C-alpha cells in the first residue's frame, strides 16, 4: 500500500501546518539541510499544544536567513531591520500587553548587531520569547564570522580560522537577567517544542538557543559534510544537562554540546514591575492605557441604552 | 478617518508658562499619544522627562530604551500594537535612527519623531541651537521616499504642531517630524492648552471589513490603506523588503516601482492639503523672506526694519518644510525681484528653493554656521541686496 | 504489535515531492525505517523520499517535525478510514 500523493494545492491546504504557515509562500528560500525549517516546525508544534489564542501571537524577526521566519509564519508578523527584532518586539508587547510576542532570529542578528537590545531586554525581564537559530555564521551574507563562531572555525572573513573568543549565549542571557534559558540542537525537535511550550507559559524574558546547521556555508567551509553529518554530530556529541551552570556550557569547535533547560526562575516582568510600582506610587488613578476612544464611546452608548431601558 | 475630541485625560487645559520641549510633550498627550520610547540627549531631554512624569497619570507608557535605534524600533512595534507613538532626539540620536526611519516609511507606520536640533556635525556645540538636520530629515535613510516635516517657531506652536503631526501621520501613514531647535525647545512662553472638546484629533483609520479581504497596503490611490493592530486576528505581515499589497516580499522591479510611486505619490499628490505656511505682506512684495522655525522670528525683525526703510518686503514662514510648497514658491518667484532664505545652517532648504525658483528671481542664501541665531542686520542686508 | 486491547497506531505519510530538497533527515531519523530516498528526481533535481514500509509507520510524526521543507505530514490511518 502506498501513501496517497497529493498535488501541491491540496498539500498546501490539507497540511496541518497550514494553520501556522503562510502556505501560499512555500517553497521557502532555505537551502537543503538547513535547520531553520525544523525550528519553525518545532515552534509550530509548541503553538499547537498551547492554549494560547493564536490571534494573540506575534512573530518578529530581524534580517538574515532566520529573519525570514516572520514572513513564513501565519501570525501578526514583522520582518524588521538587522538586529532590531527585540526592540520592535518590546514596543509591540508594551503597546499591546495581551500579545504573546516571539522573536525568531539568527545569532548574528540577535547577539552581534542586536547585542545591546538582547542584553537590555533580558535585564528588564521583558515578557517576550526569543528563539535564536545559532548556526555560528552570518548565513544570508555568505558565511562571515559571528559573535558565536567557535575559535578556530573558518569563516569567509576569518579565512585562516577564527581567533576571537565567542559568546556562550546561555551564559550571556543568564548573566543579563533572562528568567528562562534553554539550549537544544535542531535534531532535538521534540525538546525544542517542549522548551518553547515552557517559554510560552513563562512570564518574563525567555531565551532558547537552537544549534542549527548552515549546510551551505558554515558546514561546507569547515568541511563538516552535509545536513545529515551535522545531525550526526548533534546526536553523538550532545549531552542533556538540565540546570547546568551556564558558565560551563560554552561550545568549542565541534566539541561536546551541553543542552537542556539551564535557567527557569520567577521574577516580575517589566510590565508587572511598572504596574506594581505605579499602583503603589500613584494609587487607584493609575491604569495603563485606560480606555480607548471607541471603547469609551461604546461604553457610553451601552450606558445610555441601559438608562433608557430602565426608564 | 474619524475626527474625535481629544481624550480629556491627556489634556492639561489652561494657560501655562512653559518651554517648547514641555509643550511638545503636552501636545503629544493631547493628540492621544500614550506610548513614548526615547533616549536622553540635550536639548531634547525635557520632552522625554515631561512624558515620563505625565505618563502614569494619563495611562500612558514611557520607556527609556538602551539607545535611539531601540527607541524608534519600539515605536514601530508600538504602532502596529495599536498605539499612537512618539520619540524625541537631537542630532547624534537622529543619525542613529535613520535606518529604522526607512523601515517606518517602507512599512507605512504612523509615528511622530521630534528633533530638537543642536549644532553639529558630530557632537559639535551640543547645547546650542541649529537648523542643520533639515536635509537629513528629508534624505537621511537609504533609498527614495517622502516624509512630512513641520517646524514650530514658538512653544505654543510646539503644542499645536504636535497634534497636527499626529493627525498627519495617521492620515498618510508616514513618520512625521517636528523639526524644532534648541532655542524654541528651551524658550519659555505662554502656551494655551484649549479644553479637550475643542481639540480635534484623528483616530487611526481602522480597517473593519472582512478578514479575508484585508490588505495592509493599497498602492492604487493617493491615500494609504486602513490599518489593523496586532491581536485583532488579521495576521498581518509587514517587511522592509519590497512587498506587494499583502505585505509579502515581492522582489521585482515592477512591484518596486508601484510601491515607490505609492510612497512618494501619497505625499506629493497631497502637498496642498499637507503644506501650511504663514504669510505676510506678500501682496505688494518685491522681496520675500522664506524662513522656518526660530529663524522666522529673527527674520521678522529684519522685515519690519526693511519696511521702515521703505522696502516692500514680505514673509513666508514654512510651517511645513517638507513637502515643500513648490507651486506657491514658484508663484511668488514670478512676481518678486528676490527671495531671501536665512537658516541656521550653511544653506540647505535654500537649495530646494533655488531649484524650484529656477531663475525666475534672485535667491539669496543667508547661512549661519550654528550655535546662535542670526543677527537681523545680516538678513536686512540680504533683503537690500535682493531688491537692487 | 498489541498491548492488551490497545491497537498499535498506524500513520499515513503524505509527501509533497515538489518541495523536498532531499536532505534525508526523514529517512535517517524515522524510528522504524518507513521511508527511503527514491531514485527518481523531482523538478528541482532532488531525490524525494517514498514510503517503503507503510505498515511500519507508528504515527510518531518525527518526520513531520524534522523535515525543514514542511513537505511531509502524517495522518492517523484510523481517522482517515473513518472520515472516508
Ligand atoms: C545594518 C545592516 N548591516 C548588515 C546587513 C547585512 N546582513 C544581512 S543578514 C546578515 C547576517 C545575518 O546573520 P544571522 O543573524 O546569523 O542570520 P542567518 O542568516 O545566519 O540565519 C547581515 C550581516 C544588513 N542587512 N543590515
Ligand atoms: S545559507 Fe545557511 S543558514 Fe542560510 S538558508 Fe542556507 S543553509 Fe540555511
Ligand atoms: S510518523 Fe514516525 S514512524 Fe511514521 S514515517 Fe514518520 S517518522 Fe516514521
Ligand atoms: S526531510 Fe523533507 S526535505 Fe528532507 S528528504 Fe525528507 S521530505 Fe525531503
Ligand atoms: Mg547565523
Q: Count of CB atoms within 10 A of residue A48's CB? A: 14
The pLDDT of residue A5: 46
Q: How confident is the model at residue C81 (pLDDT cuts 50, 70, 90)?
A: confident
Q: Which residue minimizes the CA distance to atom 5 of ligand 1?
A: A82
In the numeric block, which cell numbers belong to residue B227? Answer: 490599518
The pLDDT of residue B51: 96
Class of domain A15-267: alpha beta
CB of residue A69 inside a 6 A radius of ligand 1: no
- How many Å apart are CA A146 and CA A160, to the nearest integer? 15
Using an 8 Å CB-CB cutoff, list chain C residues near A193. 65
Phi, psi (degrees; rounded to nearest 5) at A102: -120, 125
Q: Give the list of residues 6+ apart from residue A21 with CB closer than 8 angstroms, or none.
A: A15, A40, A44, A72, A73, A74, C70
Three-state SS sequence of chain A: CCCCCCCHHHHHHHCHHHHCECHHHCCCCCCCCCCHHHHHHHHHHHHHHCCCCHHHEEEEECCCCHHHHHHHECCEEEECCCCCHHHHHHHHHHHCCCCEEEEEEEHHHHHHHCHHHHHHHHHCCCCCEEEEEECCCECCCCCECCCCCCCCCCECCECCCCCCCCCCHHHHHHHHCCCEEEEEECCCHHHHHHHHHHHHHCCCCEEEEEECCCHHHHHHHCCCCCHHHHHHHHHHHEEECCCCCHHHCCCCCCCCEEEEEEEECCCCCHHHHHHHHHHHHCCCCCCCCCCCHHHHHHHHHHHHHHHHHHC
Domain count, chain B: 2
- How many Å apart are CA B111 and CA B76, to the nearest integer? 8
Tens place of pLDDT per residue across chain A (311 aa): 455 545 889 999 999 999 999 999 999 999 999 999 999 999 999 999 999 999 999 999 999 999 999 999 999 999 999 999 999 999 999 999 999 999 999 999 999 999 999 999 999 999 999 999 999 999 999 999 999 999 999 999 999 999 999 999 999 999 999 999 999 999 999 999 999 999 999 999 999 999 999 999 999 999 999 999 999 999 999 999 999 999 999 999 999 999 999 999 999 999 999 999 998 998 877 888 875 455 556 777 888 888 887 65
Phi-psi region of B361 (alpha: psi -120 to 50; beta: other; left: phi over 0): beta
Q: Do A95 and B77 touch (CB under 8 A)?
A: yes
- How many whole angstroms from A138 Cα to the centroid of ligand 1? 6
Class of domain C11-83: alpha beta
B318 Cα to chain A: minimum distance (Å): 33
Domain contains B350:
yes
The pLDDT of residue B160: 98
Domain contains B268:
no
Chains that touch A (3 or more CB pairs under 8 A): B, C
- How many whole angstroms from A222 Cα to the centroid of ligand 2? 14
The pLDDT of residue A6: 55
Domain contains B23:
yes
B18 shares a domain with B162: yes
The pLDDT of residue A282: 87
Residues 2-31 of B with CB under 8 A from A: 4, 7, 9
Q: Do B66 and A120 touch (CB under 8 A)?
A: yes
Chains that touch C (3 or more CB pairs under 8 A): A
- How many Å apart are CA C66 and CA B206, to the nearest integer? 40
The pLDDT of residue B4: 87
A250 Cα to chain C: minimum distance (Å): 25
Domain boundary among B176, B202, B228: B202
User: How do the domains of chain C map onto residue ranges?
Assistant: 11-83
The pLDDT of residue A270: 98
Q: How far apart are the first and last CA of chain B?
A: 50
- How many Å apart are CA A211 and CA A228, to the nearest integer? 14
B155 shares a domain with B19: yes
The pLDDT of residue A311: 55
Q: B21, B116 in Cβ contact below 8 A?
A: yes
Using an 8 Å CB-CB cutoff, list chain A residues near C79. none
Task: Transcribe B299-335 into DSSP letters.
Answer: HHHHHHHHHHTT--EEEEEESEEES--HHHHHHHHTT
Residue-range definition of the domain harbouring residue B85: 3-202
Q: A153, A208 in Cβ contact below 8 A?
A: no
Domain boundary among B167, B185, B202: B202
CATH of the domain at B63: 3.40.50.970
Ligand 3 contacts (CB < 6 A) are C 11, 13, 30-32, 34-35, 57-63, 74
Residues 14-33 of C with CB under 8 A from A: 14-19, 21-25, 28-29
Domain contains B243:
no
Domain boundary among B175, B202, B229: B202
Phi, psi (degrees; rounded to nearest 5) at A105: -155, 180
What does pLDDT average to over chain C? 91
The pLDDT of residue A7: 83
- How many whole angstroms from A258 Cα to the centroid of ligand 4? 27
Residues of chain B with pLDDT under 50: none
Q: The cell 539541510 sits on which residue?
A: A33
Ligand nearest to the CA of A141: 1
Q: How far apart are the first and last CA of chain A?
A: 73
Amino acid at each position: 500500500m502506498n501513501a496517497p500523493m497529493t498535488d501541491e494545492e491540496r498539500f498546501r491546504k490539507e497540511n496541518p501546518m497550514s494553520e501556522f504557515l503562510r502556505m501560499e509562500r512555500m517553497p521557502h528560500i532555505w537551502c537543503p539541510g538547513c535547520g531553520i525549517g525544523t525550528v519553525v516546525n518545532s515552534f509550530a508544534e509548541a503553538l499547537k499544544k498551547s492554549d494560547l489564542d493564536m490571534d494573540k501571537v506575534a512573530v518578529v524577526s530581524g534580517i538574515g536567513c532566520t529573519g525570514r521566519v516572520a514572513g513564513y509564519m501565519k501570525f501578526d508578523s514583522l520582518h524588521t531591520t538587522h538586529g532590531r527584532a527585540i526592540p520592535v518586539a518590546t514596543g509591540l508587547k508594551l503597546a499591546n500587553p495581551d500579545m504573546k510576542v516571539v522573536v525568531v532570529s539568527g545569532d548574528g542578528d540577535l547577539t552581534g548587531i542586536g547585542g545591546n537590545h538582547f542584553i537590555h531586554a533580558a535585564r528588564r525581564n521583558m515578557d517576550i520569547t526569543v528563539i535564536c537559530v545559532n548556526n555560528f555564521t552570518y548565513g544570508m551574507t555568505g558565511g562571515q564570522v559571528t559573535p558565536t563562531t567557535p575559535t578556530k572555525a573558518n569563516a569567509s572573513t576569518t579565512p585562516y580560522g577564527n581567533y576571537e573568543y565567542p559568546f556562550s549565549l546561555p551564559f550571556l542571557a543568564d548573566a543579563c537577567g533572562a528568567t528562562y534559558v534553554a539550549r537544544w540542537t535542531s535534531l532535538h525537535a521534540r525538546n525544542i517544542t517542549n522548551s518553547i511550550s515552557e517559554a510560552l507559559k513563562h512570564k518574563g524574558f525567555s531565551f532558547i538557543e537552537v544549534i542549527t546547521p548552515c549546510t551551505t556555508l558554515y558546514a561546507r567551509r569547515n568541511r563538516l559534510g552535509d545536513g545529515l553529518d551535522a545531525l550526526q554530530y548533534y546526536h553523538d556529541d550532545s549531552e542533556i544537562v538540565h540546570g547546568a551552570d551556564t558558565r560551563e556550557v560554552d561550545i568549542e569547535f565541534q566539541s561536546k554540546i551541553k543542552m537542556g533547560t539551564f535557567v527557569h526562575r520567577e521574577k516580575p516582568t517589566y510590565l508587572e514591575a511598572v504596574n506594581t510600582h505605579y499602583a503603589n506610587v500613584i494609587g487607584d488613578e493609575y491604569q495603563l492605557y485606560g480606555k480607548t476612544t471607541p471603547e469609551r464611546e461604546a461604553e457610553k452608548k451601552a450606558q445610555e441604552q441601559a438608562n433608557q431601558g430602565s426608564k | 478617518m474619524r475626527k474625535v475630541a481629544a481624550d480629556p485625560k491627556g489634556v492639561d487645559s489652561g494657560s501655562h508658562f512653559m518651554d517648547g520641549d514641555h509643550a511638545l510633550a503636552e501636545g503629544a498627550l493631547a493628540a492621544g499619544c500614550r506610548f513614548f520610547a526615547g533616549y536622553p540627549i540635550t536639548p531634547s531631554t525635557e520632552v522625554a522627562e515631561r512624558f515620563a512624569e505625565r505618563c502614569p497619570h494619563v495611562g500612558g507608557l514611557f520607556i527609556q530604551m538602551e539607545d535611539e535605534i531601540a527607541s524608534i524600533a519600539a515605536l514601530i512595534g508600538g504602532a502596529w500594537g495599536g498605539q499612537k507613538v512618539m520619540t524625541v532626539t537631537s542630532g547624534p540620536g537622529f543619525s542613529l535612527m535613520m535606518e529604522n526611519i526607512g523601515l517606518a516609511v517602507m512599512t507605512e507606520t504612523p509615528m511622530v519623531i521630534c528633533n530638537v536640533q543642536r549644532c553639529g556635525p558630530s557632537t559639535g556645540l551640543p547645547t546650542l541651537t541649529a537648523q542643520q538636520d533639515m536635509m537629513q530629515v528629508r534624505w537621511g535613510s537609504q533609498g527614495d521616499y517622502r516624509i512630512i516635516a513641520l517646524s514650530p517657531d514658538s512653544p505654543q506652536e510646539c503644542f499645536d504642531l504636535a497634534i497636527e503631526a499626529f493627525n498627519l501621520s495617521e492620515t498618510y501613514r508616514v513618520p512625521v517630524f517636528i523639526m524644532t531647535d534648541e532655542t524654541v525647545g528651551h524658550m519659555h512662553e505662554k502656551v494655551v492648552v484649549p479644553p479637550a472638546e475643542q481639540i480635534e484629533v484623528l483616530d487611526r483609520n481602522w480597517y473593519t471589513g472582512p478578514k479575508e479581504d484585508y490588505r495592509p497596503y493599497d498602492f492604487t490611490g493617493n491615500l494609504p490603506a486602513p490599518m489593523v493592530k496586532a491581536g485583532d486576528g488579521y495576521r498581518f505581515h509587514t517587511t522592509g523588503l519590497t512587498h506587494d499589497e499583502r505585505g509579502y516580499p515581492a522582489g521585482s522591479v515592477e512591484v518596486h516601482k508601484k510601491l515607490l510611486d505609492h510612497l512618494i505619490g501619497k505625499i506629493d499628490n497631497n502637498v496642498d492639503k499637507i503644506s501650511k505656511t504663514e504669510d505676510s505682506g506678500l501682496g505688494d512684495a518685491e522681496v520675500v523672506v522664506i524662513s522656518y522655525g526660530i529663524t522666522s522670528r529673527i527674520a521678522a525683525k529684519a522685515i519690519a526694519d526693511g519696511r521702515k526703510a521703505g522696502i516692500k518686503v514680505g514673509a513666508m514662514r514654512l510651517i511645513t518644510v517638507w513637502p515643500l510648497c513648490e507651486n506657491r514658491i514658484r508663484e511668488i518667484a514670478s512676481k518678486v525681484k528676490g527671495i531671501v532664505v536665512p537658516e541656521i545652517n550653511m544653506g540647505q532648504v535654500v537649495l530646494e528653493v533655488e531649484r524650484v525658483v529656477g531663475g525666475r528671481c534672485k535667491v539669496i542664501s543667508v547661512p549661519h554656521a550654528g550655535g546662535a541665531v542670526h543677527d537681523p542686520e545680516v538678513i536686512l542686508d540680504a533683503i537690500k541686496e535682493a531688491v537692487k | 504489535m498489541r498491548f492488551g486491547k490497545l491497537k498499535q497506531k498506524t500513520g499515513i505519510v503524505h509527501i509533497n515531492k515538489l518541495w523536498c530538497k532531499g536532505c534525508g533527515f526523514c529517512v535517517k531519523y524515522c524510528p522504524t525505517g518507513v521511508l527511503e530516498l527514491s531514485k527518481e528526481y523531482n523538478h528541482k533535481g532532488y531525490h524525494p523520499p517514498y514510503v517503503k514500509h507503510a505498515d511500519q509507520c507508528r504515527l510518531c510524526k518525527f518526520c513531520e517535525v524534522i523535515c525543514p521543507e514542511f513537505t511531509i505530514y502524517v495522518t492517523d490511518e484510523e481517522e482517515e478510514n473513518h472520515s472516508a
